[in-house]
């Protein structure tokens, strides 16, 4: 009896190991496939030149540029707001007040909203309400009331707000309360303490959140499909009211709407590879920073 129980138990244990290995395999196959078919096309030319001949030749530089411009604008919008929200929640707010709980509720739920709903919001609010309103107010033709970098970036900023807030709060929480007390006991004001002592110590954690949000921003397509991304533009975006090309959007359109799949396959795989490298690299960096910080904290306790 004992033997049978133990045998069955070993079997189930083995199953869990199998599950783990299958997940590893999935990751390996996906990345492997992309690397296998994509690495051939990656070259300096690919990264720095624009596409030609109906996406069958040339490079994807405009998509890289557009993605970067998008992400930079997004970070400028989301990082200050997210960090300040975290500071408010952790340093100023009364723990159980209605306001605090409402903010937390809002942040948590924002995290679960489907990305296409953000796209809808970007279209309905930013472009058609704010943008069109601005055009009317300034008596312009359609300048602000159309898909562009600015609105796409703001949409992504809203999408990533929870990521930044959660990471920043975790970072603030990690600062030991004795350090805070020491500063206040020397006569520093609350804000001086935050600025000089707490924020510098919380910086790595905040950075992790920023990098994770950049990685997400670079990879999301649904929020930017209708708020600014375009498949082919003969110019690079140079003002916030310009449209832009984007790596993820490029992959989507090319994969689903390309007239000649075989011909565009190399560029397609190359684009996917670039996107993958970009997002995974950013994730690595963020995870690395986070584990380094956690190790540091364990040492100093």
Place of tokens 């954690």: 205
Decide: is 297 part of the binding site for other proteins (CB under 8 A). Answer: no
**Residues β-bridged to residue 51:** 58
| Candidates 23-31, 52-60, 65-73, 231-239; binding stretch for other proteins (CB under 8 A) | 23-31
| CA gap 153, 250 in Å, rounded | 17
Q: Which of 6, 43, 48, 97 binds other proteins (CB under 8 A)?
A: 6
Nearer to other proteins, 179 or 238 (CB): 179
Q: Which of 50, 166, 184, 236 binds other proteins (CB under 8 A)?
A: 184
Decide: is 285 part of the binding site for other proteins (CB under 8 A). Answer: no
Count of residues making up the chain: 301
| CA gap 122, 229 in Å, rounded | 12
Q: Which of 71, 73, 150, 225 binds other proteins (CB under 8 A)?
A: 225
Size of the site for other proteins (CB under 8 A): 102
Decide: is 293 part of the binding site for other proteins (CB under 8 A). Answer: no
Decide: is 263 part of the binding site for other proteins (CB under 8 A). Answer: no
Q: Which of 19, 47, 76, 140 binds other proteins (CB under 8 A)?
A: 19
Alpha helix segments (H runs only) across 122-189: 132-138, 149-173, 177-185
Residue 280: strand, helix, or coil = helix
| CA gap 138, 151 in Å, rounded | 18
Nearer to other proteins, 72 or 255 (CB): 255
Decide: is 272 part of the binding site for other proteins (CB under 8 A). Answer: yes
Cβ of residue 284: shortest distance to other proteins, in angstroms?
A: 8
Q: How many CB atoms lie within 10 A of CB 134?
A: 13
Integer angstrom CA distances of residue 289 from 81, 152, 200, 209, 297: 22, 28, 15, 10, 12
Integer angstrom CA distances of residue 216 from 36, 141, 222: 24, 33, 12
Cβ of residue 44: shortest distance to other proteins, in angstroms?
A: 23
Site string for other proteins, 146-175 (x = CB under 8 A): ------------x--xx--x----------
Decide: is 134 part of the binding site for other proteins (CB under 8 A). Answer: no
Decide: is 94 part of the binding site for other proteins (CB under 8 A). Answer: yes
Alpha helix segments (H runs only) across the chain: 2-38, 44-48, 61-87, 98-112, 115-121, 132-138, 149-173, 177-185, 190-193, 199-219, 247-257, 261-300
Q: Which of 35, 72, 255, 277 binds other proteins (CB under 8 A)?
A: 255
Nearer to other proteins, 149 or 268 (CB): 268
Decide: is 56 part of the binding site for other proteins (CB under 8 A). Answer: no
Cβ of residue 52: shortest distance to other proteins, in angstroms?
A: 22
Nearer to other proteins, 70 or 251 (CB): 251
**Class of residue 120 by CB neighbours under 10 A (exposed 0-12, middle 13-18, buried 19+):** middle
Site string for other proteins, 58-87 (x = CB under 8 A): ----------------------xx--xx-x
Cβ of residue 80: shortest distance to other proteins, in angstroms?
A: 7
**Dihedral, CA of residue 144, residue 149, residue 155 and residue 160, to nearest 10:** -150
Q: Which of 43, 133, 189, 260 binds other proteins (CB under 8 A)?
A: 189
């Amino acid at each position: 009896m004992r033997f049978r129980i133990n045998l069955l138990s070993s079997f189930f244990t083995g199953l869990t190991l199998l599950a783990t290995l299958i997940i590893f395999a999935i990751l390996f196959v996906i990345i492997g496939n992309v690397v296998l078919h994509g690495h051939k096309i990656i070259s300096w030319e690919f990264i720095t030149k624009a596409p030609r001949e109906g996406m069958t030749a040339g490079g994807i530089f405009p998509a890289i540029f557009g993605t970067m411009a998008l992400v930079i604008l997004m970070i400028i919008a989301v990082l200050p707001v997210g960090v300040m929200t975290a500071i408010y929640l952790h340093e100023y707010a009364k723990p159980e007040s209605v306001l605090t709980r409402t903010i937390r509720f809002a942040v948590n739920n924002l995290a679960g909203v489907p990305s296409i709903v953000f796209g809808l919001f970007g279209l309905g609010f930013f472009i058609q309400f704010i943008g069109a309103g601005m055009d009317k107010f300034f008596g312009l033709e359609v300048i602000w009331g159309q898909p562009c970098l600015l609105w796409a970036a703001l949409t992504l900023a809203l999408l990533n707000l929870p990521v930044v807030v959660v990471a920043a709060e975790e970072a603030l929480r990690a600062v030991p309360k004795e350090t805070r007390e020491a500063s206040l006991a020397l006569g520093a004001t609350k804000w001086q303490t935050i600025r000089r002592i707490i924020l510098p110590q919380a910086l790595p954690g905040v950075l992790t959140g920023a990098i994770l949000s950049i990685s997400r921003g670079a990879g999301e397509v649904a929020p930017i499909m209708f708020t600014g991304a375009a498949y082919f533009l003969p110019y690079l975006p140079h003002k916030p009211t310009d449209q832009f090309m984007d790596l993820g959007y490029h992959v989507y359109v090319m994969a689903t709407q390309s007239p000649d799949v075989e011909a565009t396959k190399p560029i397609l795989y190359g684009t996917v590879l670039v996107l993958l490298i970009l997002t995974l690299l950013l994730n690595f960096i963020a995870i690395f920073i986070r584990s380094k910080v956690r190790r540091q904290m364990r040492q100093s306790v």
